[in-house]
A and B are shown apart, each in its own frame.
Chain A
Amino acid sequence: MWSTPMSSGWFGRRARARSQDSVPDGIAQKCEGCDEIIFARELERNLKVCPKCGHHHRLSAKERLEITVDEGSFAEMDGDLLSVDPLGFPDYQEKLQKAQETTGLREAIITGEATLEGMPIVIGVADFGFMGGSMGSVYGEKVARSMERAAEKRRPIILFSASGGARMQEGLLALMQMAKTAAAVRRAADTKVPYISVLTSPTTGGVFASYASLGDVILAEPGAIVGFAGRRVGQQDAGVQLPANFQTSEFQHEHGFVDRIVSRKEMRRTLAFLLRFFVEGTQHGQ
């Protein structure tokens, strides 16, 4: 029931493109969780989860899609939307261009239609590698259009977040994407379209404080950084001892803002279960 179409394609390419790995490309790398050296092939076979400590390494949007939806079922929407530099912000255009070159993406989120265990869905996946997965005008627009598409086609929608928050370089227009996406979620809810929000590391700031916190069901990967202001940004009263799991998915789960912590291996199965619960015998997902 759970088969992963793990072609070497994206994973191989991405692994080589990653410049921040402490151990250079090739056959082995250091686990970000336990510092153990792990073989790249073993890591990839294990969905980039460390076989030793269970640390979930970051996935690119394309890798995420590949292990989530039915093979070959994904059809991108709005892939032609391109960010501009509305404020004339210092170095923004250069940063965009660099992000496009290193990720091979046009923006920090990919959205489209697909099937999951044969059930039609709308899906969006953010990519932290693209300017920290930050939400600017294009990102917000794609989320809003996805919501509208889901409502219009009566299909469940799944959004994977991996984002540091609003894109500073787009100033107020980035802030407004929070309102835009939240309003779009609210409107889609009127049509009873199921919305599953999946928080992956990191989901913080303006993304966590907008559409990502509004899912009918909210799932999170284990150990993911999930919070409002980053641990360093947040102001703490003197003498307050922060819990060890502060601003992680476990912390949010403990306080009631995440329904379940779901390991990567279990994610597809969990999503499929929820989809069946929401759509079976209804007009959704036809």
Chain B
Amino acid sequence: MASSFLDFERPIRELEALLDELRKPEKQAEARQQGIDLDAEIARLEAELRKAIEEVFARLTPWEQTLLSRHQERPYTFDYVRVMFDDFLELSGDRLADNDEAIVGGPAFLRGRPIMVIGHQKGRDLRERQRRNFGSARAEGYRKALRLARLAEKFDRPIISFVDTAAAAADLRAEEHGISEAIARNMAEFSALRVPIIAVVIGEGGSGGAIGVAVGDRVLMLEHAIYSVIPPEGCAAILWRDKSRAEEAAAALKLTAQDALELGVIEEVVPEPLGGAHRDLAVMASTLSDAILRHLREVEALSPDERLEERYRRFRRMGRWTVAPPVSPPSTESES
């Protein structure tokens, strides 16, 4: 059983531990000897477990959603690649300088369909996390993503992008190699790629690091993923000079999948299995494959020109404002 869990998962994990114990053959044997009906007890605990999960997950706060999106057991890009795709071949390098392992990608087949996959990869154990810079990509990672996206365009293959990063790298090397330019370039170029692009925020949609690979025809979010302009901790530090108020900041930032849907930033919230994607990867992967293929069919029905126009409009209409009557002397000519 898993070793890491979040505070609000504790009642769930305790019940699970108890169930695991009771299911052991030696316990079963022991119970039989003493004439105890263990099956009834297990059934009762299973019902209780289900109820406990439902209760916890029915009222998750934005902060708890944030913690879930960063859950140590949360499936990462390669987990989805492994379960969703029939076949996948990782390609490497930006053909300019380096191979940044915080972003991975390559050709794959999704239920028989050839698709180019790109995505952040955080890493499971400490060594892998360090190698992948905890999923915080530098310029080379974004340039690799663009290279693979252009490859997909050249051979007329759709692109699926898995978004899962706390933030883009902001260290000396990232700055020296132009992390800002790389993110900016990706947004500009992805807006003009002629093949369909579906982006899915599977965990953390961290600011520029996320949007650098999330310009597409459709953007989906898993139910417990987050998407934010700044991490709640950073927001709290700036606003209140107090990182411990991250919980408040998480609520203020409107960073949940439901919020993103209401703000018109994403097309769909993809439901996760009860208790979160990490509790049933097979079910999650299957739901996600269905959703991706459904959106893909819709955007593929458009001609490339229509699709580009819609993609442009998609981002073009984002934002909210109002129009005021002029107060200062209007030197302006009339705006159509």
Contact = CB atoms under 8 A, between A and B. Distances in A.
A261 B302 CA distance: 45
Contacts of A76: 330-332
Contacts of B176: 255
Contacts of B192: 183, 186-187
Contacts of B227: 172, 175
Contacts of B212: 209
A113 B192 CA distance: 27
Contact of B215 (A83, A183, A229): A183
Given A144-B316, A183-B316, A237-B171, A74 B331 contact: yes
B92 interface: no
A112 B332 contact: yes
Contacts, number: 206
A227 B322 CA distance: 31
B171 A234 contact: yes
Interface in A40-64: none
A180 B316 contact: yes
Given A172-B229, A229-B170, A257-B180, A177 B326 contact: no
Given A79-B326, A247-B175, A257-B178, A138 B188 contact: no
B179 interface: yes
Given A175-B229, A235-B171, A255-B176, A183 B330 contact: no
Contacts of B259: 171-172
Contacts of A233: 170, 234
Interface stretch (B20-28, B51-59, B248-256, B289-297): B248-256
Chain A contact residues: helix, strand, loop or mixed? mixed
Interface string B220-263: 00000001111000110011000000000000111100011001
A168 B184 contact: no
Contact of A77 (B170, B210, B211, B335): B335
Nearest to A145: B335
Given A137-B321, A168-B229, A234-B170, A75 B333 contact: yes
Contact of A214 (B188, B215, B235): B188
A172 B321 contact: no
B187 A178 contact: yes
Nearest to A237: B171
Nearest to A167: B229
Nearest to B324: A82
Most buried by A among B191, B227, B315, B331: B315
B168 to A, nearest CB: 7
B230 A182 contact: no
A10 to B, nearest CB: 13
Contacts of B301: none
B170 A251 contact: no
B279 interface: no
B211 A175 contact: yes
Most buried by A among B167, B171, B316, B326: B316
B208 interface: yes
A144 B238 CA distance: 28
Nearest to A178: B211
A81 B324 CA distance: 6
B35 interface: no
Contacts of A89: 252
Interface in A164-213: 166, 168, 170-180, 182-187, 205-206, 208-213
B191 A86 contact: no
A209 B180 contact: yes
A81 B321 contact: yes
Given A75-B332, A213-B181, A173 B191 contact: no
A184 to B, nearest CB: 7
B318 interface: yes
B335 A172 contact: no
B101 to A, nearest CB: 16
Interface in B279-336: 311-312, 315-316, 318-326, 328, 330-333, 335
B67 interface: no
Most buried by B among A83, A168, A170, A243: A168
A80 B325 contact: yes
Interface of B: 167-168, 170-172, 174-181, 183-185, 187-189, 191-192, 207-208, 210-212, 214-215, 227-230, 234-235, 238-239, 252-255, 259-260, 263, 265, 311-312, 315-316, 318-326, 328, 330-333, 335
Given A187-B312, A228-B179, A234-B170, 11 more contacts: A106-B324, A137-B319, A172-B227, A172-B259, A173-B319, A173-B320, A179-B215, A187-B191, A210-B187, A236-B172, A246-B175
Interface of A: 74-84, 86-87, 89-90, 104, 106, 112-113, 136-138, 140-141, 144, 166, 168, 170-180, 182-187, 205-206, 208-214, 227-229, 233-237, 240, 242-243, 246-247, 251, 255-257
11 contacts: A77-B332, A79-B330, A84-B322, A90-B239, A166-B229, A177-B318, A179-B187, A182-B215, A227-B175, A246-B172, A255-B178
